[in-house]
Amino acid sequence: MPLYRRLAEHYQGAIQAGTLVAGDRMPSVRDLMRQHQVSLSTALQTLRHMEEGGWLEARPRSGYFVRQPRRSAIRPVQEPKSLIAIDPAQYVGIHEKVSKYIAQRQASAPAIDLSGMTCAPELYAVDTLKQAAMRALRDRPELLTSAMPHNGNHTFRQAVARRALNAGMRIDADEVVVTHGCIEALNLALRAVAGPGDTIAVESPTYFGLLQALENLGMKALEIPTSPHTGISSEALELAVRTYGNIKAVVVVPNLQNPLGCIMPDASKDKLVRLCEELRLPLIEDDAYTELADGNAPPSSLKSRDRSGNVIYCASLNKVLAPGMRLGWMNGGRWHERVKMLKFTHTRANEEWTQVTAADFIASPGYDRHLRRLRQLLKEQRERMAESIAAYFPEGTRLNVPNGGVGMWVELPAQICSQQLFELALAEGVGVSPGAIFSNSNRYGHFLRICCGHPFTRELDQALRQLGRIGHMLAAG
């Protein structure tokens, strides 16, 4: 990172921590040069970079001042109004809605696509991965033509098991099953503990891919009230289990929930894991984003609290390592043997070549460097986008700016139909995800999920301005 950016970081951190507040005068160019022993050009670049990022404003003949972040005027998304889960009898099928959404998005191929949860390719270590891949091909070309070991390549399983160990999870390499992304892991986890006709508790809102998978497996999703700040409510879950019976499992994204972006506090995680143990309710943990949390101490997992094998842990390297490699892995807890068998009958083993390439990178010091850089870039992009949303979106918009990850959950004024906004934006070449696909109980019709995985550019800013304009138009009715 160049010197001016490191210096900008230093002051931005102080603003975020509240050491410097809106209206405070920034050190002058001369001060910066003296205090930090930097050149005139570095000092100037630092101030301009912070101004461009919306952190400072220049006042003629007075210097730079810390700016009131526009998004400080924007309120957070509201808490759920009740702890009572909606009666599944009121549910609508999600398939058609999601299929229509995906088809529309694919057909339009928007120029600026903020609908997914994937980061731009340039955020990943493409050269390092390419070198690792070349090495794998040179050293072990026979991987291309040999039958694969069941459950995954040993070196890869060892590499992820070691990282899990550092995150407080004791999962040995031979207790890891490698999967095609997290979605296969979730499918296997669900099939391991439940069957057609069974009900599965999920967060509300939740990832549409999970709702779709459930519907395809003939299972019913019961949406549990979930705080946009502290995650799924254990009280609401307990109430639902006592009300509805026949709930066979609960699926939870404890860290950087999709779409909410929230991280459950440790106490809530403890409570949830203990509750599920007491109820003998299998707890399926979906972990795709933890390593993208801000800072260098990722939040803890539910699995690290598991004493009885009641937690099925499903992880993805898709967002973290590389979206083009589609690697996931899982540990089935006390259903692990059944998970292994289901994986075998489902897709057999994963290709070894990809795993060897990934293991090479994951076991190297470069991997943590990559993660630090990725987190930092995502944070910058997120902050910049939040500022633009605050500036352009209609009065009454609420926003959660999460402490990590790839998405933001935006609550629009209640009269705005986000499906309409989605369609109008698509016609202008901008893709977003409408809130309604994150629930099958007709909720979240005025919410949007916006991806912040792309570098903040003038075009991206322009796209957010367009979204804001459409929002204003729809708000006016």
In 3-state terms, the chain is what percent helix, strand and coil (to 5)? 50, 15, 35
Site membership for a copy of itself, residue 277 (CB under 8 A): no
Binding mask 201-240 for a copy of itself (x = CB under 8 A): --------x--xx--x-x----------------------
**Of these, 170, 348, 369, 372, which contacts a copy of itself (CB under 8 A)?**
348
Pick between residue 37 and residue 145 the one whose CB is nearest to a copy of itself.
145
**Of these, 225, 228, 323, 333, which contacts a copy of itself (CB under 8 A)?**
323
**Of these, 77, 160, 161, 184, which contacts a copy of itself (CB under 8 A)?**
184
The three-class DSSP label of residue 204 is strand
Site membership for a copy of itself, residue 347 (CB under 8 A): yes
Only one of the segments 80-88, 127-135, 417-425, 432-440 lies at the binding site for a copy of itself (rule: CB under 8 A); that segment is 127-135
**Of these, 354, 388, 397, 400, which contacts a copy of itself (CB under 8 A)?**
354
Question: What are 398's two structure tokens?
Answer: 């609420």
Question: What are 350's two structure tokens?
Answer: 């994963």
Beta strand pairing call for 447-451 and 433-434: antiparallel
**Of these, 83, 137, 239, 371, which contacts a copy of itself (CB under 8 A)?**
137
Pick between residue 52 and residue 139 the one whose CB is nearest to a copy of itself.
139
Site membership for a copy of itself, residue 352 (CB under 8 A): yes
Q: How far is the CB of 220 from a copy of itself (least distance, A)?
A: 14
Q: How far is the CB of 146 from a copy of itself (least distance, A)?
A: 5
Pick between residue 23 and residue 141 the one whose CB is nearest to a copy of itself.
141
Binders of a copy of itself among 366-385, rule CB under 8 A?
A: none
**Of these, 12, 108, 187, 257, which contacts a copy of itself (CB under 8 A)?**
187
Q: What is the dihedral of CA 449, 126, 367, 313, to 10 degrees?
A: 50
Exposed e or buried b per residue across 107-122, where buried means at least 16 C-beta atoms within 10 angstroms of its C-beta:
ebebebbbbbbbbeee
Pick between residue 148 and residue 424 the one whose CB is nearest to a copy of itself.
148
Measured CA to CA in angstroms, residue 63 lies from 35, 58, 92, 236, 300 at distances of 17, 6, 58, 53, 43
Q: How far is the CB of 322 from a copy of itself (least distance, A)?
A: 5
Question: What are 67's two structure tokens?
Answer: 């700016």
Site membership for a copy of itself, residue 95 (CB under 8 A): yes
Pick between residue 49 and residue 105 the one whose CB is nearest to a copy of itself.
105
**Of these, 141, 168, 295, 455, which contacts a copy of itself (CB under 8 A)?**
141
Site membership for a copy of itself, residue 130 (CB under 8 A): yes
Question: What are 142's two structure tokens?
Answer: 């026979």
Binding mask 18-37 for a copy of itself (x = CB under 8 A): --------------------
**Of these, 68, 324, 414, 427, which contacts a copy of itself (CB under 8 A)?**
324
Rounded distance, CA 195 to CA 219, Å?
Answer: 7
**Of these, 61, 81, 90, 196, which contacts a copy of itself (CB under 8 A)?**
196
Rounded distance, CA 85 to CA 342, Å?
Answer: 31
Please check whether residue 328 is in contact with residue 182, taking contact to mean a CB–CB distance below 8 angstroms.
Answer: yes
Site membership for a copy of itself, residue 159 (CB under 8 A): no
Rounded distance, CA 67 to CA 72, Å?
Answer: 11
Site membership for a copy of itself, residue 135 (CB under 8 A): no
**Of these, 17, 89, 107, 147, which contacts a copy of itself (CB under 8 A)?**
147
What secondary structure does DSSP assign to 221-269, as a single string?
EEEEEEETTTEE-HHHHHHHHHHH--EEEEEE--SS-TTT-----HHHH
Residue in 405, 391, 395 with CA at minimum distance from that of residue 450: 405
Residue in 400, 376, 383, 392 with CA at minimum distance from that of residue 449: 400
Please check whether residue 35 is in contact with residue 27, taking contact to mean a CB–CB distance below 8 angstroms.
Answer: yes
Measured CA to CA in angstroms, residue 354 lies from 14, 54, 132, 137, 292 at distances of 42, 41, 10, 10, 22
Pick between residue 279 and residue 371 the one whose CB is nearest to a copy of itself.
371
Residue in 413, 366, 450 with CA at minimum distance from that of residue 129: 366
Q: What does the binding site for a copy of itself look like in residue numbers (CB under 8 A)?
A: 95, 99, 102, 106, 116, 118, 121-127, 129-130, 133-134, 137, 141-148, 150, 180-181, 183-184, 187, 191, 195-196, 209, 212-213, 216, 218, 322-326, 341-342, 344-354
